[in-house]
Amino acid sequence: MSKLKFLYRKARLKDVRDIKRIESDCGLSPWSVKDYEQEIGKNPDFIICEFEEKIIGFILARLITHIEYPIKNNKSTFLNKEIIEAEILNISVMKEFRRNNIGLNLMKLILDKLESYDEYSIILDVRVSNNAAIKFYQIFNFEIISRRKDLYSNPVEDGYFMKLEKN
Ligand SMILES: CC(C)(COP(=O)(O)OP(=O)(O)OC[C@H]1O[C@@H](n2cnc3c(N)ncnc32)[C@H](O)[C@@H]1OP(=O)(O)O)[C@@H](O)C(=O)NCCC(=O)NCCS
């Protein structure tokens, strides 16, 4: 399957039905159609992967930039520093297309945006039983920071809070 041509682009309103289908097939915590539509309207970091005009995967991240203002005191003035924080809200690839680096490429599209910042952190939550996703995140050097009790419902389960930092 490695020779197949996958296209990556920003999510559009007409994609929501397919995104909901992938969400449901992959057992992700459901978002409402309205929530997805709002993200598409305001968030450039909602990216889909397409194969033969069919959506087969997506990543939904949120990036927030901060500028640390100069701190003046009697002795010194520190330079402005740009910091970026990101959260991976959802990532999913349809079962029959997994292990083709699609997840990797979706994640890289987000990581590439962070590279130029002096400091960044990316956070996410994952079900403690989701070994595939945990292994996937660990290849980017995400670390498990804490365990959040009963974070998930249907079924109720703890979540790992994971983080990747550059500083
Ligand atoms: C997690 C997920 C997005 C990974 O997508 P993917 O396209 O299959 O991942 P990739 O092909 O890019 O995998 C990259 C690497 O991650 C690791 N990896 C991915 N899936 C793995 C698995 N099932 N078991 C072990 N390692 C895995 C491997 O190191 C893999 O490299 P390799 O195939 O050369 O060994 C996919 O499994 C998925 O959609 N899962 C269901 C939805 C989900 O759980 N999302 C996360 C919610 S928090």
Domain-embedded: residue 142: yes
Residue 54 tokens, joined: 């069919």
User: CATH no. for residue 79?
Assistant: 3.40.630.30
Name the pairing type of β-strands 157-166 and 7-10.
Answer: unpaired
78-107: pLDDT as tens digits: 567 788 999 999 999 999 999 999 999 999
Q: Is residue 1 domain-resident?
A: no
pLDDT in tens, 25-76: 998 989 999 999 999 999 999 999 999 999 999 999 999 988 777 666 655 5
Verify cis geometry, omega within 30 degrees of 0, for the bond prior to 44. no
What is the domain extent for residue 117?
7-166
123 pLDDT above the threshold of 70:
yes
Q: Name the 3-class secondary structure at 108.
A: helix
Does a structural domain hold residue 31? yes
Question: H or E element: which one contains 120?
Answer: strand 119-127
Ligand 1 binding pocket mutation candidate from 98, 124, 135 (most atoms within 8 A of CB):
98
By the 10 Å C-beta count (0-12 exposed, 13-18 middle, 19+ buried), 157 is classed as: middle
Query: What domain count does the chain have?
Result: 1
136 lines ligand 1 (CB under 6 A): yes
Determine the Cα–Cα distance for residues 145 and 137; give it in Å rounded to an integer. Answer: 13
3-class DSSP assignment, residue 162: strand
The angle formed by the CA atoms of residues 35, 8 and 160, to the nearest 5 degrees, is: 55
The model carries a pTM of 0.93
Q: What is the pLDDT of residue 67?
A: 78
Cα separations in angstroms, 7 against 13, 52, 120:
17, 9, 27
Per the domain annotation, does 18 fall within a domain?
Answer: yes
Q: Is residue 42 part of a domain?
A: yes
Could you tell me the distance, in angstroms and rounded to a whole number, from the CA of residue 137 to the centre of ligand 1? Answer: 8
Please report where in the chains the tokens 């959802």 appear, as a residue. Answer: 90
Contact, 124 vs 131, CB < 8 A?
no
What is the pLDDT confidence band of residue 118, given thresholds at 50, 70 and 90? Answer: confident
Decide the pairing of beta strands 143-152 and 81-93: unpaired
Residue whose CA is at the smallest distance from ligand 1 atom 8: 98
In a domain, 38, yes or no: yes
